[in-house]
Structure formats: structure tokens, C-alpha cells
């Protein structure tokens, strides 16, 4: 390669590497601001500020959704399978909201460690499948837990 | 090898060779895109969770994929402009920037339309959406910078530097969903793993991505040819081309 071109190439590569390092360090320093939400472990560890508008995200714990029969108030636990945070919300939930589904809630954490949400968004994962397949998978996992329970029985008496 | 590389840089040579394979690009692109989109929108099974509303993925993913892909191609061309001062590389950047701008806009728009029924919001400032918006502004900035400088050569260099600086944004878009908490879900297609959807969903998606790629190739050729003709209008081969209709 021509020496002038070689020189230009090195300059451009240096520029790119330097720039990547700069941007990398900046985004690393700002990671808490770039993160859209706090997860339940961070909240229960006290990393999230109290009484400041923040977002909390995680999975809706199975069997934790309690609906108030008189109003639109809903209470549920948000979990990341290592810690859970109780959330309360008054309003209409998105269609995809269900137990075992991911959500991102916006609101304030109160002094008792409860998260009072004023907006709940549904988060879905990257897995797509036809309804029949999902049904079959669920059946299979139910059969598995059932047989696991049966297998476990003889050991308990 | 270097000889071939330099031949590639000749606008006249490119003009002749691209005319030959452009019809094939367009035809195969339309066939693949139509097959993918019709299959995806009408025949692919619906999703267990989102029902039919997930079908916008067959538009959203191809446009978003192309928007980033075009930027990577532009950055490679910008490198060639800066190091080898090859005219054709600059012609490419200038020709495809508006295409990238439109596709980025479409990706953001279809994403918003998809987000409303599934997430419950049109827009959220999460890392993926924001970095994609920055890509839209980068495309706009490249066009503006190119228009702002009258001299062709200095415009080419300035644009190339801007395009190269902006390429840092591409890995940020790609990995935003893994590095940070986002509302946007991680990628369904991964290079190393099986796609996390069944074949009757990912095959039409792949077809529409490939189809859009080919149509982009055709569009890039058309726009590059136009740009070459206007830049080289004083040369003899262009005058002959205008008179005879062929190179």
C-alpha cells in the first residue's frame, strides 16, 4: 500500500479507536441513567431513591395479583426471582399484563418499600410461538410438575 | 487484487457493470419481499401472547435491520473515501443516505405502532429506541452537511468523517438491549444460536429481509448511476451515452 494511504488509514483507525473508548467510558459512567428501570434486587438493596419518580421492572409474580373488586386498584409483586417488590396501581393495565409476564412500572417508592405506580407498561420477550405450541409446552410442563410431585410423594410418608 | 480494487473505483466501469445486473436485483428482490411479507402477514401462525399484532415484525425487523446495515456500508465507503480518495465511494454514500433515512424512520414508526398495543405506549426513552433516534438524526446530519458544502471534494471528506464518527452508534444500537435494562426485547435472530421463533415465522422474516436487501441494492445502483451521470456530465463517455443510450 502507498505510504500516504497507510498513514491516512492509521489516522482514521486511531480516530475510531479513541472515539470508541471515549463513548464506551461515557456510557459506562452513565449506565445508571441509561438503564430504563431498577430491578427488584436493586430496590430491595436500597439502591433506588425513595419518593422520586423512577421506573421499576421485572416479572409479575405468579399468584400475586390482587384486584380490588370496588375500583381499578391492583396490587401485585414484581420479582426478578431473587427479590420481590410490592407494587400498587390504579388504572387500566395493558393487554399483555399477566402473571409471569414482564412489566415496567413508573412511579414512586414510598417509605414502607411499596412501589406506587402511575403507569404500567408490558414488556415481552423475544420468543414468539404459535398458540398451539405454547399450549402444548404448558401441558408438558404441567405434566412434568405433576409427575415430579407424584415421584416426590413416596419419599414424604 | 489492487488492480481490481482500483477498477472498481472507476465510475464508467461501475456504470456499465451495474446496468447489467440491476434488473436481476430488482426482480429477485420483489419476489423475495412479496413472498416474505405475504407469507408473514397472511399465512404465518399468530403469536400465543400478542395474537395478530406481532405480524408488524415482518415490516419492522427488515426496515430496522436495513437501516443499520446501510449505515455500516456507508461507514466502509467513508473509510475508502478518506484513505484511497475513491470517487465512487463518495457517490455511494451520497446515493444511499436518503434511503437509510427513510428506512430508519419506517423502523421507528412501525415500532411505535407496535409498541402501543403491546407495551401500552408509543414511545419510551429506553436505550434501544433512543439510539435508533440518534441514527435517524445522523442520517439527517449527513445529508445536511453534504448540502451545506459546495465544493465536492471537501464535502466528501467532511461527510466521510461524520459517517465514521457516527458508526460508534451501531454497536450501541445492537447491544443496547443486552447492556442495559430496556423495554425493548432482545434480538430474536442471533448469529450463534437458533432463532427464538419457529421456522414458519422466521423463514418469512428472513425472506423479507433478503428481499429488502436486494431491492436496496437495486435502488443504490439507480441512485449511484444518476449521481455519476450528473458528476461526470462533462466527460466524453457520458456525452456518448446520452447520444447512443449505452456505454
Give the pLDDT mean for B179-186.
Answer: 86
The answer for B 120-139 residues in CB contact with A (under 8 A) is: 120-121, 124-127
A128 annotated to bind ligand: yes
Q: How far apart are CA B68 and CA B64, in angstroms?
A: 7
Domain locations along chain B: 26-182+196-244
Say whether residue B83 is in contact with chain A using an 8 A CB cutoff: yes
Q: How far apart are CA B239 and CA A54, in angstroms?
A: 65
Q: Could you tell me if B119 and B100 are in contact, meaning their C-beta atoms sit under 8 angstroms apart?
A: no
Asked if B124 and A94 come within 8 Å (Cβ–Cβ), the reply is: no
Residue B209 in grid coordinates = 429481509
Q: How far apart are CA A20 and CA A14, in angstroms?
A: 10
Say whether residue B180 is in contact with chain A using an 8 A CB cutoff: yes
Residue A70 in grid coordinates = 370496588
Q: How far apart are CA B191 and CA A128, in angstroms?
A: 18
User: Model confidence over B183-213: pLDDT tens digits?
Assistant: 898 888 877 777 788 888 899 999 999 999 9
Asked if B196 and A127 come within 8 Å (Cβ–Cβ), the reply is: yes
User: Model confidence over A112-155: pLDDT tens digits?
Assistant: 889 999 989 998 888 888 888 777 877 777 777 666 656 554 44
Q: Which of B57, B186, B198 sits opposite A133 (nearest CB)?
A: B198
| Backbone angle region of B245, left / alpha / beta, with phi > 0 → left and psi within -120 to 50 → alpha | left
- Backbone angles phi and psi of A50, in degrees to 5: -90, 140
Confidence at residue B107, expressed as pLDDT on a 0 to 100 scale: 96
pLDDT of residue B1 exceeding 80: no
Alpha-carbon torsion angle B162, B165, B171, B177, nearest 10: -80
Report the gap between the CA of B130 and the closest CA in chain A (Å). Answer: 10
| Contact partners, residue B39, CB within 8 Å, separation at least 6 | B203, B204, B207
Confidence at residue B247, expressed as pLDDT on a 0 to 100 scale: 64
pLDDT of residue B238 exceeding 70: yes
A2 annotated to bind ligand: no
- Go through chain B and tell me how many residues it has: 247
User: Model confidence over A26-76: pLDDT tens digits?
Assistant: 888 888 777 888 888 888 888 888 888 888 888 998 888 899 888 889 999
Q: Which of A5, A36, A125 sits opposite B126 (nearest CB)?
A: A36
Q: How far apart are CA B3 and CA B50, in angstroms?
A: 54
Neighboring chain A residues of B198 at a CB cutoff of 8 Å: 128-130, 133
> Which one, of A110, A101, A97, A95, lies nearest residue A79 by Cα?
A101
Q: Could you tell me if A80 and A105 are in contact, meaning their C-beta atoms sit under 8 angstroms apart?
A: no
Say whether residue B84 is in contact with chain A using an 8 A CB cutoff: yes
Q: Which of B54, B167, B181 sits opposite A39 (nearest CB)?
A: B181
Confidence at residue A150, expressed as pLDDT on a 0 to 100 scale: 60
**Mutation target among A10, A32, A128 for the B interface, most CBs of B within 10 A:** A128
Burial class (CB in 10 A: 0-12, 13-18, 19+), B229: middle
Q: How far apart are CA B55 and CA B114, in angstroms?
A: 9
Residue B32 in grid coordinates = 423475495
The C-alpha angle A68, A73, A78, rounded to 5 degrees, equals: 105
Confidence at residue B193, expressed as pLDDT on a 0 to 100 scale: 75
Q: Could you tell me if B74 and B97 are in contact, meaning their C-beta atoms sit under 8 angstroms apart?
A: yes
Give the pLDDT mean for B164-170.
Answer: 94
Q: What pTM was estimated for this model as a whole?
A: 0.86
Asked if B45 and A134 come within 8 Å (Cβ–Cβ), the reply is: no
Name which of A147-151, B53-57, B228-232 the model is least confident about: A147-151
Q: How far apart are CA A38 and CA A88, in angstroms?
A: 16
| Backbone angle region of B216, left / alpha / beta, with phi > 0 → left and psi within -120 to 50 → alpha | alpha
Amino acid at each position: 500500500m502507498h505510504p500516504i494511504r497507510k498513514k491516512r488509514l492509521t489516522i482514521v483507525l486511531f480516530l475510531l479507536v479513541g472515539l470508541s473508548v471515549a463513548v464506551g467510558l461515557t456510557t459506562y459512567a452513565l449506565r445508571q441513567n441509561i438503564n430504563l428501570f431498577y430491578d427488584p434486587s436493586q430496590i430491595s438493596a436500597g439502591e433506588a431513591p425513595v419518593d422520586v419518580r423512577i421506573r421499576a421492572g421485572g416479572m409479575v409474580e405468579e399468584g400475586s395479583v390482587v384486584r380490588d373488586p370496588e375500583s381499578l386498584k391492583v396490587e401485585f409483586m414484581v420479582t426478578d426471582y431473587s427479590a420481590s417488590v410490592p407494587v400498587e396501581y390504579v388504572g387500566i393495565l395493558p393487554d399483555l399484563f399477566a402473571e409471569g409476564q414482564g412489566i415496567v412500572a413508573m412511579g414512586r417508592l414510598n417509605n414502607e418499600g411499596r412501589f406506587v405506580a402511575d403507569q404500567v407498561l408490558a414488556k415481552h420477550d423475544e420468543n414468539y410461538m404459535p398458540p398451539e405450541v405454547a399450549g402444548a409446552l404448558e401441558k408438558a410442563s404441567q405434566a412434568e410438575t405433576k409427575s415430579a410431585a407424584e415421584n416426590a410423594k413416596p419419599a414424604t410418608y | 487484487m489492487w488492480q481490481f480494487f482500483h477498477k472498481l473505483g472507476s465510475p464508467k466501469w461501475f456504470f456499465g457493470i451495474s446496468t447489467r445486473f440491476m434488473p436481476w436485483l430488482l426482480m429477485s428482490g420483489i419476489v423475495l419481499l412479496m413472498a416474505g411479507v405475504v407469507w408473514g402477514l397472511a399465512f404465518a401462525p399468530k403469536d400465543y401472547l400478542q395474537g395478530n399484532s406481532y405480524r408488524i415484525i415482518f415490516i419492522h425487523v427488515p426496515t430496522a435491520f436495513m437501516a443499520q446495515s446501510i449505515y455500516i456500508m456507508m461507514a466502509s465507503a467513508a473509510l475508502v473515501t478518506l484513505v484511497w480518495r475513491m470517487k465512487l465511494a463518495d457517490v455511494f454514500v451520497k446515493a444511499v443516505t436518503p434511503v437509510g433515512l427513510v428506512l430508519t424512520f419506517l423502523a421507528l414508526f412501525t415500532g411505535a405502532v407496535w409498541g402501543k398495543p403491546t407495551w401500552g405506549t408509543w414511545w419510551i426513552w429506553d436505550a434501544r429506541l433512543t439510539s435508533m433516534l440518534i441514527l435517524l438524526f445522523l442520517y439527517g446530519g449527513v445529508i445536511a452537511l453534504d448540502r451545506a458544502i459546495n465544493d465536492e471534494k471537501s464535502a466528501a471528506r467532511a461527510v466521510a468523517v461524520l459517517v465514521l464518527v457516527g458508526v460508534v452508534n451501531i454497536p450501541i444500537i445492537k447491544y443496547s438491549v443486552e447492556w442495559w435494562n430496556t423495554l425493548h426485547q432482545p434480538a430474536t435472530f442471533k448469529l450463534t444460536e437458533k432463532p427464538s421463533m419457529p421456522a414458519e415465522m422466521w423463514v418469512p422474516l428472513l425472506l423479507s429481509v433478503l428481499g429488502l436487501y436486494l431491492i436496496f441494492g437495486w435502488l443504490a445502483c439507480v441512485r449511484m448511476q444518476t449521481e455519476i451521470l450528473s458528476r461526470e456530465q462533462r466527460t466524453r463517455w457520458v456525452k456518448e451515452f446520452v447520444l447512443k443510450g449505452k456505454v
